[in-house]
Amino acid sequence: MNKATAMILAAGRGERMRPLTDTCPKPMLEVQGKPLIQWHVEALASQANPDLVINTAWLGSLISIGLADGSQFKTHIQYSHEGEDFAHSGNTGALETAGGIIRALPILADSFWIVAGDVFAPQFEFSKAAYEAFAASSMQAHLWLVPNPAHNPNGDFGLSGGGLALNLPKESATPKWTYSTVGLYKKSFFDAALTGIPAGNPDGIKAALAPLLRAAMDKGLVSAEIYTGDWTDVGTPERLRELNGFV
């Protein structure tokens, strides 16, 4: 079985999207005629990324039933069902971003795409050229940053003239951009020596991604670029209605 070259993060509860997410996982909400997550699946498949892994927790079975093995999209989808494996750890069993990625590390390739299942970026290309350039580079991660949306006016990270992502203090006058959730990562970024969590995350430890990114940025190991195509964090019913033409 081939290692997955991309992971779609789909384990969140979607609290801000309630009541819509009381009966439907947020990545399966329809945007312009099809489930939000399907836009990513099709885009990844179109750019020679046929092997994917999707993590799930809240109502995760509805995602695996809806997308099945991915063959209808000319992909092969594996699932990391955190909700089934770690529901005892509280609420949905979701392991947060880094915890979920580390859980899936054994089935991921040495370099892989990461994208959140609840963002809409229909023009983004998960290109083979970008993947190969990153795999050959000395960087541990490469991020796509977007202009700051209204709900995140202060941004997340800076960008140097040389293309390095910058961990800037909140009071910094240097402009910051918002992390789109699209990025390329290497397995070594999540090494147990750095995270304290072994590959496969057998104990279901919850861990956030941002602290790992900031630590790697301080070492000059994260590159970035600006993406100016359509991009929406579909985090509220209002944003979903806007995308579907209902204001």
Q: Residue 92 above 80 pLDDT?
A: no
pLDDT at residue 90 in the model: 52
User: How many domains are there within the chain?
Assistant: 1
What lies within 8 Å, CB to CB, of 230 at 6+ separation is 120, 121, 122, 123
> Could you tell me the residue range of the domain that residue 204 belongs to?
4-243
- Per residue in 168-213, pLDDT (tens digit) is 998 888 999 999 999 999 999 999 999 999 999 999 999 999 999 9
Could you tell me the pLDDT band of residue 36, with boundaries at 50, 70 and 90? very high
pLDDT at residue 89 in the model: 52
Distance CA 6, CA 51 (A): 7
67-76, 87-96, 137-146, 198-207: which is most confident: 137-146
Distance CA 178, CA 154 (A): 8
Strand (E) or helix (H) holding 245? none
Nearest to 211 by CA among 145, 162, 157, 149: 157
- Per residue in 113-129, pLDDT (tens digit) is 999 999 999 999 999 99
pLDDT at residue 1 in the model: 65
Please report, for the domain that includes residue 26, its CATH number: 3.90.550.10
Angle value at C-alpha 34, between 4 and 73, nearest 5 degrees:
35
